[in-house]
Structure 1
Amino acid sequence: MTPAMMLFPLALVLFEFAVYIANDMAQPAMLRVVQEFDVGVAWVPLAMTAFLLGGALMSWLTGPLSDRIGRRPVLLAGVAYFIVMSLATYWVGSIEAFMVLRVLQGVGLCFINAVGYAAVQEAFEEKAAVKVMALMANVALIAPMVGPLAGAALIEIAPWRTCFLLIAALSFVALLGLWWQMPETVCPDRVKAPLSRMGADYLQLLRDRRFMLSAACIPLLAMPLMGWIALSPVLLVEDLGMSTLQYGLWQLPVFAGLIAGNFVLAMLAERLPLGRSVQLGMWPLVGGLCLMLAGVQFSALPHVYMVAGMSLMAFGEGLSFAVLYRFALMASPVSKGTVSAAMSMVSMAGYALGIELFRHAYMAGGMGGFALMSVLTSLLFVLVARPRVRLAMKLRAVPVAQAA
């Protein structure tokens, strides 16, 4: 891959970074938000739930629309939309209006998953696409690392609303980069499937057991980390009395583990059969969360074990995500914009449901409830993903002529 070939994914990942940081910078600021609007801390994780629900709202349309008119115009329009929604948050006047705008901002996720990722998969061959996705993830994952620290620092020197102005500015730079470098990976003159076929395509995907189970692996993999992002302000600041700066610093090992997993995946992609990294990643994923559960129950320093366990879990997720995404995308012959859109909806709905499950587990059992839910979701992931990965690896090992 030449440096010029990487300019498009770098522009895309800058937009992805801006969208993710809209969540990660906002989470430490949420304690200030609820104070300003005089509401309870139960609204803190709901902000992330609202954002992720927005990510599931429009993928059903953005993916098939990009199949019909092209990936490029749909993605550029999505970036412009996200800029407007970010700017609008600066003038919000109530917690209800804030939550509505969180949903509308979350729609920006639809353009990344259903359009941008599909374009990357089409622009590169299989193993190169996995490496590019892993490297993109490393850049995007700077958002969860920088976001809590930046958000915590920003609210000490400026109003919380300022972060949305910074997000809009980053998105504008990404818009310029995509306008300059994004290729068109579908031929709109040839791919003219009518939008009326969307229902039939989605119904075909819903009936495809192989696809649905492959797509379900992605939110199951990420649920513990999503729960951590949503609830760690409450766990660390409210329960353990940390400052917002300390809260941000304790996020660094977790996302460093995720980045390390992606780097290892990029190095192993050419050396191991595609899917082997997922099998390897299951060990630190489950083991780390079991360590967290034990530490929360029996240690006088529960935050140390929570962070250590989540860091191991994140390393396993980094080894797995890009490969699972590729497997799910190729699990159905339906057009890739529609498949990617369906995957996005399954993922966003799964994340939102998962965060609510984690919230209720925390409300019922505190830190122990959060840790137990993390272990249970990781075990469910292994149960669902292991046969999916074996099947995908087996199909890739069959010669083309024999498979035909």
Structure 2
Amino acid sequence: MPLRILLILGALSAFGPLAIDMYLPAFPALARAFATDVEQVQLSLAAYFVGLALGQLVYGPLADRYGRRRPLLAGVALFAMASLAAAFAPSLEWLVAARFVQALGGCAGMVIARAVVRDRCDPLASAKVFSQLMLVMGLAPILAPVAGGALLASSGWQAIFVLLALFGAACLLAVLLWLPETIPADQPRAPISGALGKYRGLFADRFFIGHALSGGLCMGGMFAYIAGSPFVFIELYGVPAEHYGWLFGINAAGFILMAQVNVRLMRWRGPEFWVRRWVWFYFASALLLLAIAAARPVALWPLLIPLFGCVASLGCLLPNATACAMADQRANAGSASALLGSLQFSLAATAATLVGALHDGTAVPMAAVIAACGLLAALVAYATARATSG
């Protein structure tokens, strides 16, 4: 795939992590600005997750019917405008609404980037491209909070959303100039009225739904870590808040490294083979994490080792599970990408919510949710392999 297109797809894939992570340092400032507490500000994050889960289901059929470019241009433009609306929000309710609309726009890039990869690549090449896109997914959580914190200190929280609007505008221009339509000219275009039928068919496709669920459950474990690690690192083990980003960055670096290792692994075996292997490594690391958390160590470092194993293994798991799920979906690539993304973020939001609901002042809730996600992902992957090999 040409480097220019790969860079555009990487930028489109970054809408989610940038819009989620960049404004996290501003939560206290937003609470002060709107005379409320941080818990109420978190509603804006929940609204974004809901928008991501729902919006992807809309863009999939649109992308299959009208091509990749037109829905993508509309979504990216909506993201940029909603980001500006968030920057000038006069109330928390306005901000929550703007964040919901921002997600509805931003998820177009996430859905259609996966569909474009499927349009242009076979399953093996797709796994390699998705691994390269994971570089963006790994770097964004490192850089976004740092950039958000710097903007917050220098220009206030509004500057964060202005920067997101400018990023959206830049992506809009790049798509207009350099991203061609990728649906083959001879491919039939399904009517929008058949969208529900497509989704029913995808749910009945055991190969697709098995890999979509196993990848989604692994992403749920990732978001359980994102939701639980600030309390575990900062409050439970006393890591200074300014050093939290370094620990977060080490795990993200492991994720990036393994995503690039995955490109090399494709030389020996295909993505389905590696999904079945790495999902058990992920579960083993998560089980060790839970055992250590239950022992309540006095130091943080025993928890960091299996946690690193969990996060790093996702660099191999997620691109391979995505490539497998999309492998047979040429005519339905948009809808398949949409359902895949919606399942991922629904499971991720559920896992993050569970960590908060189970909070007991220890690291056990975070570890337990990660381990549960790992167990379910391993069982789903095993069942999928059995069902599709028979």
TM-score, normalised with respect to structure 2: 0.90
Pair 1:163 & 2:160 matched: yes
> How far, CA to CA, are the matches of 1:70 and 1:101 in structure 2?
27
> How far, CA to CA, are the matches of 1:190 and 1:281 in structure 2?
35
Verify the 8 A CA contact 1:76 1:178 in the aligned structure 2: yes
Which is further off, 352-361 or 11-20? Answer: 11-20
* Residue 300 of structure 1, aligned match among 294, 298, 301: 298
Verify the 8 A CA contact 2:227 2:352 in the aligned structure 1: yes
Which is further off, 160-169 or 39-48? Answer: 39-48
* Residue 70 of structure 2, aligned match among 44, 68, 73: 73
> How far, CA to CA, are the matches of 2:313 and 2:40 in structure 1?
30
> How far, CA to CA, are the matches of 1:32 and 1:239 in structure 2?
23
Aligned to 2:176: 179
1:198-245 CA-partner distances (Å, limit 9, x unpaired): 122222223444433332112101112112223433443455554442
> How far, CA to CA, are the matches of 1:264 and 1:333 in structure 2?
27
Verify the 8 A CA contact 1:51 1:105 in the aligned structure 2: yes
1:162-214 CA-partner distances (Å, limit 9, x unpaired): 11112222222222222222121115786332211112222222344443333
Aligned-partner residue type, residue 381 of structure 2:
A
Uncovered stretches (5+) of structure 2, i.e. residues with no partner: none
> How far, CA to CA, are the matches of 1:234 and 1:35 in structure 2?
21
Aligned-partner residue type, residue 160 of structure 1:
W
Aligned to 1:372: 368
> How far, CA to CA, are the matches of 1:235 and 1:40 in structure 2?
21
1:102-144 CA-partner distances (Å, limit 9, x unpaired): 2222224431332221111111232222111111111232101
Pair 1:92 & 2:89 matched: yes
Which is further off, 338-347 or 282-291? Answer: 282-291
Instruction: Note closer, same or farther for the CA distance 1:38–1:17 as it changes in structure 2 (3 Å cut).
Output: same
Aligned to 1:398: none
Aligned to 2:25: 28
Aligned to 1:101: 98
* Residue 16 of structure 1, aligned match among 8, 13, 18: 13
SS of aligned partner of 1:58: helix
Verify the 8 A CA contact 2:64 2:331 in the aligned structure 1: no
Verify the 8 A CA contact 1:329 1:336 in the aligned structure 2: yes
* Residue 59 of structure 2, aligned match among 62, 75, 82: 62
Aligned residues: 389
1:32-57 CA-partner distances (Å, limit 9, x unpaired): 32343343443465443322211112
> How far, CA to CA, are the matches of 1:228 and 1:101 in structure 2?
26
Verify the 8 A CA contact 2:221 2:348 in the aligned structure 1: no
- Percent of aligned positions that are identical: 27
In the TM superposition, what is the alpha-carbon distance from 1:366 to its structure 2 partner? 3.8
Which is further off, 233-242 or 98-107? Answer: 233-242
In the TM superposition, what is the alpha-carbon distance from 1:94 to its structure 2 partner? 2.7
Verify the 8 A CA contact 1:213 1:384 in the aligned structure 2: yes
Aligned to 2:203: 206
Verify the 8 A CA contact 1:253 1:308 in the aligned structure 2: no
In the TM superposition, what is the alpha-carbon distance from 1:378 to its structure 2 partner? 1.0
Aligned pairs for 1:4-403 within 5 A: 5-43=2-40, 46-187=43-184, 191-296=188-293, 297-302=295-300, 304-330=301-327, 335-362=332-359, 364=360, 366-389=362-385, 394=389
> How far, CA to CA, are the matches of 1:112 and 1:121 in structure 2?
14
> How far, CA to CA, are the matches of 2:187 and 2:380 in structure 1?
37
Uncovered stretches (5+) of structure 1, i.e. residues with no partner: 396-404
Instruction: Note closer, same or farther for the CA distance 1:113–1:139 as it changes in structure 2 (3 Å cut).
Output: closer
In the TM superposition, what is the alpha-carbon distance from 1:266 to its structure 2 partner? 0.8
Instruction: Note closer, same or farther for the CA distance 1:215–1:190 as it changes in structure 2 (3 Å cut).
Output: closer
Verify the 8 A CA contact 2:272 2:320 in the aligned structure 1: yes
Aligned-partner residue type, residue 204 of structure 1:
G
Verify the 8 A CA contact 2:131 2:263 in the aligned structure 1: yes
In the TM superposition, what is the alpha-carbon distance from 1:250 to its structure 2 partner? 1.7
1:333-392 CA-partner distances (Å, limit 9, x unpaired): 762212222222222222222221222122x45422221121111111111113325666
> How far, CA to CA, are the matches of 1:361 and 1:165 in structure 2?
36
What RMSD in Å do the two structures reach over aligned CA positions? 2.5
> How far, CA to CA, are the matches of 1:62 and 1:188 in structure 2?
20
Verify the 8 A CA contact 1:149 1:245 in the aligned structure 2: no
Verify the 8 A CA contact 1:22 1:167 in the aligned structure 2: yes
> How far, CA to CA, are the matches of 1:86 and 1:73 in structure 2?
20
> How far, CA to CA, are the matches of 2:17 and 2:340 in structure 1?
18
Instruction: Note closer, same or farther for the CA distance 1:287–1:100 as it changes in structure 2 (3 Å cut).
Output: same
> How far, CA to CA, are the matches of 1:66 and 1:286 in structure 2?
35
> How far, CA to CA, are the matches of 1:221 and 1:139 in structure 2?
18
